């Protein structure tokens, strides 16, 4: 494939999430709540060759810009992602995701005995580490399986 060809077409308006680690695109779609049921136009490239990452995933969501809380969760599973806002085919904004120091209410604690897993309405609260997240209530650390703990 030459530089003149694109594997996934350019979009007119929306968000391109670029430089997602290879294999994480479906988790990114899950975070954004995209399952195709709302009729959104979404293009996904998986394991696309990349100079920087070797292989990367790319997700293009048309006619949608992402909220800060979506970006926070995204940063946990795609720390190297670039968020490109596209308007009229131009990249009008390019941002790196920033990892928050903690996330509240977005992940489920996998420890069934954790206070946040009880009936009391206590929001989950995880401290963000370099290589995962830690429940501030029970110290459970989640590393590889963060995507599975995202609340729906």
Decide if residue 60 touches ligand CTP (CB under 6 A).
Answer: yes
The helix (H) or strand (E) run that includes residue 27 is helix 25-31
* Tokens linked to 88: 């009229």
Among 13, 43, 50, 111, binds Zn ion (CB under 5 A): 111
Decide if residue 106 touches ligand CTP (CB under 6 A).
Answer: no
Decide if residue 82 touches ligand CTP (CB under 6 A).
Answer: yes
Decide if residue 109 touches Zn ion (CB under 5 A).
Answer: yes
**Segment lying near Zn ion (by CB under 5 A), choices 33-41, 46-54, 55-63, 111-119:** 111-119
Separation CA 83–CA 34 (nearest Å): 17
Please report how close the Cβ of residue 37 comes to ligand CTP at its closest, in angstroms: 23
Contacted entry of Zn ion, ligand CTP, none for residue 114, CB cut-off 5 to 8 Å set by kind: Zn ion
In residues, how long is the chain? Answer: 152
Contacts 24+ apart (CB under 8 A), 84-87: 84/15, 84/16, 84/17, 84/18, 85/15, 86/10, 86/11, 86/12, 86/13, 86/14, 86/15, 86/16, 87/13
Contacted entry of Zn ion, ligand CTP, none for residue 89, CB cut-off 5 to 8 Å set by kind: ligand CTP
Q: Which residues bind ligand CTP (CB under 6 A)?
A: 10-11, 16, 18, 58, 60, 82, 84, 86, 89, 91, 94
């Amino acid at each position: 494939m030459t530089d003149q060809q694109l594997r996934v077409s350019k979009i007119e308006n929306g968000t391109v999430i670029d430089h997602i680690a290879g294999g994480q695109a479906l988790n990114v779609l899950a975070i954004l709540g995209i399952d195709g049921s709302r009729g959104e136009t979404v293009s996904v490239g998986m394991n696309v060759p990349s100079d920087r990452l070797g292989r990367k995933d790319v997700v293009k969501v048309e006619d949608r810009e992402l909220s800060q809380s979506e970006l926070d969760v995204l940063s946990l599973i795609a720390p190297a992602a670039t968020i490109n806002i596209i308007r009229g085919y131009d990249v009008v904004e390019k941002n790196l995701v920033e990892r928050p120091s903690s996330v509240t209410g977005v992940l489920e604690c996998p420890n069934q005995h954790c206070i946040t897993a009880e009936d009391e309405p206590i929001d989950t609260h995880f401290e963000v580490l370099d290589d995962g997240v830690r429940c501030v209530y029970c110290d459970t650390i989640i590393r590889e399986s963060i995507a599975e703990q995202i609340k729906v």
